[in-house]
Amino acid sequence: MPKKYDIEQLVQKFKDGDKIALARLITLIENEPEKATEVFKNFQESNHESYIIGITGSPGVGKSTLTKSITKLLLEQGKKIGIISVDPTSPFSGGAFLGDRVRMTEISLHPNVFIRSLASRGYRGGISRAVLDITLLYEAFGMDFIIIETVGVGQSEFEVYNLAYTVIVVLVPGYGDAIQMQKAGIIEIGDVYDVNKKDLGGEDVAAHIDMMLDDSSATQSGWRPPVAMTNSITGEGVDELVGHILDHKEHMELSELIEERKKNRFAYKIRELLYYRIDRILESLINKNEIEQLSASIIRDGKFKIYDAVHDIFSNVKFEMKKKDSD
Ligand SMILES: Nc1nc2c(ncn2[C@@H]2O[C@H](COP(=O)(O)OP(=O)(O)O)[C@@H](O)[C@H]2O)c(=O)[nH]1
Ligand SMILES: [Mg+2]
């Protein structure tokens, strides 16, 4: 557990652009969320803004490969890029898929790139909270772009559209019919669509999305999501995709819609932080054992008393909090 002077030292190195200090601060906040206050107070003077891009889609569609190709292009434009790869479906804890590691190594050696992978669940305060904190650290570090790669839509613990300013939904040839896409809510969340693995076909998928976008209300904000096709291995089409991303960025900035996304991002974070605190209160009030005992007593005394039992616990919460207030 680093002591106070360690944090100060780390922050100093961080401010000098040391990537190792960045890595260590991320780990620190991941393991000890309560240290965030102490770390973030050092950045209160900083008003640097990063542009946050979300890349989402089913496992295996090529999100990591695409992230790498997009990053390469942005690097050529002299940008600094922070990547967060979220894959809660990975069976490995504490690290990302080996494949991702290999794929990313090439760009991670570049001085203007930093990559963090979150593969397991069980981060204190949840994976979304870890991601939110990393985006804040990346912003303080001076990243121009943050790319968040995450699996799935609608069912994952962490949903990238709560956080990103431009969301790219990645699909592949043979992905399935339009109904499946609509079910997944995909057509509502994308700002840019990409049919990756175009070497395997996919014109029909692209046409399908185009048709669905024409029928949807997705264009209400004055932005018609474009549909790109890429081969993220060769980099074919990635130029156009990045063009779409930058167009959307410009649209967001000119129309001031970006303010809405920023509000959403911080509202989301505020809720997360409140949930985290409430969870701590709950834990201090009743532990797992006591809940089991209570269940046993309800089985004994009658299951219809369950609401009364919960009501009693809740009354205690109020009592505790009032007591604290009047201290
Ligand atoms: N044929 C083809 N394969 C690709 C393409 N992009 C990625 N892949 C492959 O698809 C697999 C999954 O890619 P990955 O980036 O890990 O997907 P992720 O799970 O969405 O991050 C890997 O074997 C990639 O090499 C592409 O454009 N064409
Ligand atoms: Mg991946």
How far does the centroid of ligand 2 lie from the alpha carbon of residue 91, in Å? 13
Give the residue, 318 or 243, on which the prediction is more confident.
243
Asked whether residue 206 falls in the same domain as residue 125, the answer is yes
For residue 211, how far is its CA from the centre of ligand 1 (angstroms)? 26
Atom of ligand 1 nearest to the CA of 149: 21
Q: Is 272 inside any structural domain?
A: no
CA–CA distance, 68 with 90 (Å, rounded to integer)? 19
Residue ranges making up the domain that contains 33? 1-43
Mean pLDDT across 122-128: 67
Same domain, yes or no, for 100 and 205?
A: yes
Residue 149 CA to ligand 1 center (angstroms) comes to 13
Residue 298 Cα, ligand 2 centroid: separation in angstroms?
46
To the nearest whole percent, how much of the chain has pLDDT over 70? 81
Which ligand 1 atom is at minimum distance from the Cα of 198? 27
Co-location of 68 and 171 in the same domain: yes
Residue nearest to atom 19 of ligand 1 (CA): 60
Residue of the CA atom closest to atom 14 of ligand 1 = 62
Q: In terms of C-beta distances under 8 Å and separation of at least 24 residues, what long-range contacts does 311-320 make, across chains too?
A: 313/285, 313/286, 316/285, 317/281, 317/282, 317/285, 320/281, 320/285
Which residues' Cβ are closer than 6 Å to ligand 1?
A: 57, 59-65, 99, 196-197, 199-200, 231-233
Looking at residue 326, its pLDDT comes to: 47
pLDDT tens across 187-228, in order?
A: 788 999 999 999 999 999 899 889 888 877 666 678 999 999
Point out which residues pair with 68 in neighbouring strands.
none
Ligand with smallest separation from the Cα of 99: 1
- b/e 131-161 (16+ beta carbons within 10 angstroms → b): bbbbbbbbbbbebbbbbbbbbbbeebebbbb
Rounded Cα distance between 166 and 89, Å, is 23
Q: Burial code of 68-85, b = ≥16 C-beta within 10 A, e = fewer? A: bbbbbbbbeeebbbbbbb
Question: Within a domain: residue 273?
Answer: no
Do 75 and 224 lie in a common domain? yes
Q: Who has greater pLDDT, 317 or 261? A: 261
Ligand 2 geometric centre to CA of 119 (Å): 10
Quote the CA–CA distance of 138 and 12 in Å, as a whole number. Answer: 15
Q: Tell whether 64 and 186 lie within a shared domain.
A: yes
107 with 235, same domain: the answer is yes
* 100 or 233, greater pLDDT: 233
Answering whether pTM is above 0.75, one says yes
How far is ligand 2, taken at its centre, from the CA of residue 90, in Å? Answer: 10
Q: Atom 3 (ligand 1): residue with closest C-alpha?
A: 197
Q: Which atom of ligand 1 lies closest to the CA of 196?
A: 27
pLDDT in the model for residue 250:
97
> Nearest ligand, CA of residue 171?
1
Per-residue pLDDT tens digits for 221-273:
789 999 999 999 999 999 999 999 999 999 999 998 999 999 988 998 888 88
pLDDT bin (cut points 50, 70, 90) of residue 120 is low
Evaluate whether 148 touches 115 at the Cβ level (below 8 Å).
Answer: no
Report yes or no on 247 lying in a domain: yes
Specify whether 199 is located in the same domain as 312.
Answer: no
**pLDDT value of residue 19:** 95
- How many folded domains does the chain comprise? 3
Confidence tier at 94 by pLDDT (50, 70, 90): very low
If one compares 231 and 29, the residue with the highest pLDDT of the two is 231
